[in-house]
Homo-oligomer: A and B are copies of this chain.
Amino acid sequence: MNGAQAVIRTLVDGGVDVCFANPGTSEMHFVAALDDVPEMRAVLTLFEGVATGAADGYARMTGSPAATLLHLGPGLGNGIANLHNARRARTPLVNVIGDHALTHKRLDAPLESDIDALAGTVSGWVRRSLATSEVGADTADAIAAAARGQVASLVLPADVSWSDGAAVAAVPSRRPAPQVPASVVEEVAGVLGGSTLLFLGGDAVLEPGLRAAAQVAAGTGTRLLSQRSPARMQRGAGRPDVLKLPYPPEGARKQLDGVEHLVLVGAVEPVAFFGYPGMDGRLLPEGCSVHVLAAPGEDAVAALQALAESTAPDATPELAEARRPDLPTGELDIKALAEVVGALLPERAIVVDEALTSGYFLPMATVGAPAHDWLTLTGGAIGQGMPVAVGAAVACPDRPVVSLQADGSAMYTIQALWTQAREGLDVTTVICDNSAYAILASELESVGAAGGGERAGKLLDLGGPALDFVALATGMGVPATRATTAEELAEQFRAALAEPGPHLIDAVLPRG
């Protein structure tokens, strides 16, 4: 058995049976070995940022890692932005990064670069496999490391891959999350009430955690708030409706106003996304004390359930009622867009939200839609949405994926559409097409830099020439239409959802 075969067999035996791949020469033995281990599903992407984002989306929905296959330093570089997002999402993910043969390293061939340094910026675990006899064990260690909620990067030299003498290694069964000590739960129980806020993140915003938190809220008057950009949130009719921390610092401060005790539950302390002149980046009111019920990675759900049991055993959590907005008519703006989504969102949908400024009305419009999952832009590196939609669709082939995508950000990883077509993924993409980096126009003002200058404005404008997303999608094999009124969007959204496979709708909004 050669090294590549051992890597793939160890991955599959360890539960990692999907690989999002952009191979090159140094990965050719890995590619060849795919025919020896048919349990591994290899999904080709046209750009590494799609591969890494897809692996992130996959793991957010399954809870277990997918692998990527990347080509040396530049291939990893192309995937860095979405690995950054995966790191912020605490996503388990195994990168397999092919490198030159060990014997070739010292020749400083054109593709030689410092892979380890690159990988270190986004990974919790990095290892270069140095011997074919050990590569199975290295792979098993990578899987175990990823399972701790981090990016694990295995650098795989070509000769370690092609040489014989490798062996499959077993991955130890996944260790459950550490439990929160009872004394901590007790301490938090002592501060609950109307001036206390549970700040929820990680697993705590999946249904069981939200229910327990809502039970605490109902019984004690404690307030609830979710972190700004959860990796995966469960919401909709029949589930507690918990607001997310707003993006603008003023809005965030308003939500935190009057809070004397902030309790972190699978989340870290909220801070402003960016610094602004004359503004403190911390958001908590003065004198607010911070308590940690569960640190990220600890069993937040069990801690919340224990807290509910001890403080509000008989309380009934408040749940969102089933209700949908009416289908809007007339002008297509961001409110109408949200109402169309809310009115038509199918059962068990997975919503991937990179709508940015166009998404303002989405939470209100969808809170009573059938129960669904909501995946967000965790690390702020745009170009995540369409790749994450790929991964979510591969992970959950029986669920519809709705990908709500800002236009400027869409262009960062537009190649994801091709993989959606190739794999026949049931993804309905709605491009929020305002022909601008609209978020930057408001940021230009927020940082106090708005001079209204023409040259500055030109750098935020996507209108010359206008991007034709219908042409771009069809050019990659995804059927696409354009909606210029609320009625057209509704009709096209309904039609896209009714058909299997990917579709794209270019929703033309007022210029940003």
B443 touches A25 (CB 8 A): yes
B456 touches A100 (CB 8 A): no
- List A421-469 residues whose CB lies under 8 Å from chain B: 421-422, 439-440, 443-444, 446-451, 453-456, 458-460, 462, 464-469
- By beta carbon, the residue of chain B nearest A462 is B46
- List A371-410 residues whose CB lies under 8 Å from chain B: 378-381, 383, 408
Chain B nearest CB from A419 CB (Å) reads 10
B464 touches A474 (CB 8 A): no
Could you list 13 examples of A-B contacts with CB < 8 Å?
Answer: A25-B446, A28-B444, A32-B451, A107-B272, A109-B272, A113-B121, A113-B122, A118-B118, A118-B121, A162-B277, A162-B449, A422-B465, A475-B475
Indicate whether A455 sits within 8 Å of B35 (C-beta atoms), given known contacts A74-B80, A78-B78: yes
- List A13-41 residues whose CB lies under 8 Å from chain B: 21, 23-26, 28-29, 31-32, 34-35, 38
> Does A158 touch B at the CB level, under 8 Å?
yes
A458 touches B44 (CB 8 A): yes
Residue among A268, A273, A450 facing the most chain B CB atoms (10 A cut-off)? A273
Please report the C-alpha to C-alpha distance between residue A451 and residue B32 in the assembled complex, in whole angstroms.
Answer: 7
Chain B nearest CB from A158 CB (Å) reads 6
> Does A287 touch B at the CB level, under 8 Å?
no
B458 touches A467 (CB 8 A): no
Q: Which of B31, B114, B474 contacts A444 (CB 8 A)?
A: B31
B459 touches A34 (CB 8 A): yes
Chain B nearest CB from A8 CB (Å) reads 11
> Does A364 touch B at the CB level, under 8 Å?
no
Please report the C-alpha to C-alpha distance between residue A414 and residue B273 in the assembled complex, in whole angstroms.
Answer: 30
B459 touches A158 (CB 8 A): no
Using Cβ atoms and an 8 Å threshold, which residues of chain B touch A252? none
